[in-house]
Structure 1
Amino acid sequence: MLVRFKKLDERAIAPTYGSDCAAGADLYALADKEITIGAGETAFVHTGIAAEIPENLVGLVYARSGLACKKGLAPANKVGVIDSDYRGEIMVALYNQSNEPRTIADGERIAQLVIAPYLRAEFTECETLSDTARGEGGFGSTGKFGKKA
């Protein structure tokens, strides 16, 4: 599959895959100087690229596991959604969930972009929904551990 992208700044780095089987392509920070994100704060980090996601696909922006687990930096919205009709710059809202300030350098890998298909639903209002064993059981209603065989 071909995903066209445009550099909005000549210094921008094209998305790259870290291995042959990687699902997500790394997105890179574009910054004039180091970006410091205070504990509990969010910073919008430029990538300097815009992309043309093919129709019927979506770009999903996920955390890089190393950055999230080692530095406590992950997308503030947990998963960013890039619709196929969006043509603006891809920005990553990095949230610092650690207890100390963290820095991001120009060219650092800040998130990963996964291209995926999606289904568009047709919603219809009704008076009743079908019954299930779970019913209206919500958060934690299925227990803490899986069933033992």
Structure 2
Amino acid sequence: MAGVLRCKKLSAFATLPARGSAGAAGYDLSAAHDCVVPARGKALCKTDIALAIPASHYGRVAPRSGLAWKHFIDVGAGVIDEDYRGNVGVILFNHGDGDFIVKCGDRIAQLVLERISTPDVVLVDSLDETDRAACGFGSTGGFASKRALDENAAPVQPAPPAVSGA
């Protein structure tokens, strides 16, 4: 048995998280209230559920692919700690040009339970060397092979604004 995810409904409008299929990684999260996500804006949609995330796990609130592809809706800042017991809210970002209407009961995100490791933090004088070292931000592929990236390289400066003649 995989364990249980204990859920509490905080209102009659809450919908328990549910997987869409036996092989689904995430549990659908549904809005408990109508909500408008303004064009190019954001909104906090409450689910009216509280959860007891299993020990050594956290809940990652992830986007639903259909909302992202069809309506430009994304999810932000979605971590539910195992000791959080409040109303689960979903931050929705609308990257589209029109308002996005959420109705009570609409599936707005998915909850993915992920196992975590939380080792003690230890201050050290040095770290072991690796081939990658401090190279980051695209250094392992893409443009890195065309342009030598260096941690001291100056950032690319944006072009100055165009001046319109009168």
What displacement does 1:42 show?
Answer: 1.1
What displacement does 1:127 show?
Answer: 2.0
SS of the counterpart of 1:70?
A: helix
More strand per residue: 1
Of 16, 21, 24, 2:23 maps to 21
TM-score, length-scaled by structure 2: 0.80
Q: Answer with 1 or 2: which has the greater Rg.
A: 2
Structure 2 runs not aligned, ≥5 long: 146-166
Structure 1 runs not aligned, ≥5 long: none
Of 89, 95, 118, 1:120 maps to 118
Give the whole-Å Cα distance in 1 for the aligned partners of 2:119 and 2:4.
26
Which protein has greater RCO, CA pairs closer than 8 Å, 6+ apart?
1
TM-score, length-scaled by structure 1: 0.89
Cα deviations by residue, 1:71-98 (Å, 9 ceiling, x for unpaired): 1111122xx1111111101110111122
What displacement does 1:143 show?
Answer: 2.2
What displacement does 1:13 show?
Answer: 0.9
For 1:38, the equivalent position in structure 2 comes to: 38
Give the whole-Å Cα distance in 2 for the aligned partners of 1:118 and 1:38.
34
Find out whether 1:63 has 2:36 as its counterpart: no
Aligned residues: percent identity? 40
Residues 1-149 of structure 1: pairs in structure 2 closer than 5 A: 1-31=3-33, 33=34, 35-77=35-77, 80-144=78-142
Cα deviations by residue, 1:9-64 (Å, 9 ceiling, x for unpaired): 01211111101100100000111x4x221122110101111011122121111111
SS of the counterpart of 2:142?
A: coil
Which residue type is aligned with residue 25 of structure 1? Y
